[in-house]
């Protein structure tokens, strides 16, 4: 299989590339920038460019069997600052992509959505895929709209679509700029002897999933003959206060966070029901939070020391 990975130089994308290569797939990556934490891999065809570059995209799709879409220009905390940019940077390029796929051949798409934002404030715990989509931030609204366009393309033109609604992802190679990825941000700050911040009282509950587990699910989705939406989480909830307790054990020293006022777009609790992905795709997350934190901390220390 020849796969085009859009956003393959990013945090999640680099691990999806690794998983696809390990399975013997031929990989081409479209990204606006190179990987941050490692050199280009010799057996990957890297193409520098933007998803909005339609002529370039047509050429890239011509010999692809499937597409994995992982790119995003926003994160939940920044999307509300400029919703127009969120729409133009994410929704519009996706609509162009599916049009280009219709014209140039590949009829299979794996799309990384957001299990933490598309549901809004859940009325079920854990949250199943049939839960209504009621996002309360622009990031979630645009992700939901992207899903709707994909399902329209499936209905009208037969595109095989697998949407992965991912939980809060973490692990090695995650960016540490403080915009997304509380685990990466906390560990980076602690390694630099900087304070960490908690928005609210620490009671917010999230579902944390290691990046290699989502990469494995992406690979399974590429080989599946089904379409539909699948939650991608650990199936377990961890409050921010509990997370800080785990981090204390990982780093082996006291951790005293600074508390800031809570944010209106932060959903109080999201834990994903992953039974559908387990039953249909044969996938189960394998890296527990304690193991994942230890690995991420080890990578963080080695990265900062280099």
Cβ atoms of 28 and 2 closer than 8 Å:
yes
The alpha carbon dihedral of 168, 268, 291, 128 has a sign of: negative
Torsions phi, psi for 97 (to 5 deg)? -60, -50
Q: Residue 174 in contact with residue 124, Cβ under 8 Å?
A: no
Helical pair 138-157 and 92-104, crossing angle rounded to 10 deg:
20
The answer to whether residues 109 and 159 touch, using CB atoms and an 8 Å cutoff, is: yes
Residue 231's nearest CA partner among 184, 265, 279 is: 279
> Quick count: other Cβ atoms within 10 Å of Cβ 96?
15
Of residues 270, 147, 274, 278, the one with CA closest to residue 205: 270
Q: Is 119 a catalytic residue?
A: no
Which residue among the candidates 37, 46, 139, 170 is catalytic per the annotation? 139
Secondary element (H or E) of residue 153: helix 138-157
To 5 degrees, how large is the angle CA 177–CA 180–CA 186?
65
Enumerate residues 6+ apart whose C-beta is below 8 A from 175.
11, 36, 181, 184
Dihedral Cα 90, 146, 101, 29, nearest 10 deg: 50
3-state secondary structure of 37: coil
Report the C-alpha gap between 230 and 273 in whole angstroms. 9
Which sequence positions are flagged as catalytic? 139
């Amino acid at each position: 299989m020849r796969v085009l990975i859009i956003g393959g130089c990013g945090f999640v994308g680099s691990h999806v590339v690794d998983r696809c290569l390990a399975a013997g797939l031929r990989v081409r990556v479209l990204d606006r920038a190179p990987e941050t934490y490692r050199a280009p891999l010799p057996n990957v065809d890297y193409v520098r460019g933007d998803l909005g570059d339609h002529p370039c995209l047509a050429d890239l799709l011509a010999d692809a069997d499937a597409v994995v879409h992982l790119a995003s220009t926003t994160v939940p905390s920044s999307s509300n600052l400029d919703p127009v940019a969120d729409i133009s940077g994410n929704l519009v390029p996706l609509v162009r992509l599916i049009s280009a796929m219709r014209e140039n051949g590949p009829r299979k798409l794996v799309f990384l959505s957001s299990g933490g934002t598309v549901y809004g404030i859940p009325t079920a715990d854990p949250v199943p895929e049939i839960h209504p989509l009621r996002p309360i931030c622009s990031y979630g609204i645009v992700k939901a709209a992207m899903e709707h366009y994909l399902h329209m393309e499936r209905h009208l033109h037969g595109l095989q679509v697998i949407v992965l609604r991912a939980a809060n992802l973490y692990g090695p190679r995650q960016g540490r700029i403080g915009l997304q990825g509380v685990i990466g941000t906390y560990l980076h700050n602690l390694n630099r002897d900087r304070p960490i911040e908690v928005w609210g009282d620490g009671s917010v509950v999230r579902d944390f999933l290691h990046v290699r587990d989502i990469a494995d699910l992406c690979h399974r989705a590429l080989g599946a003959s089904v379409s539909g939406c699948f939650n991608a989480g650990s199936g377990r909830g961890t409050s921010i206060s509990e997370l800080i307790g785990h981090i204390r054990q990982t780093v082996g020293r006291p951790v005293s966070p600074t508390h800031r006022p809570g944010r209106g777009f932060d959903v109080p609790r999201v834990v994903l029901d992953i039974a559908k992905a387990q039953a249909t795709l044969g996938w189960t997350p394998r890296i527990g939070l304690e193991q994942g934190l230890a690995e991420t901390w080890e990578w963080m220390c080695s990265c900062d020391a280099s």
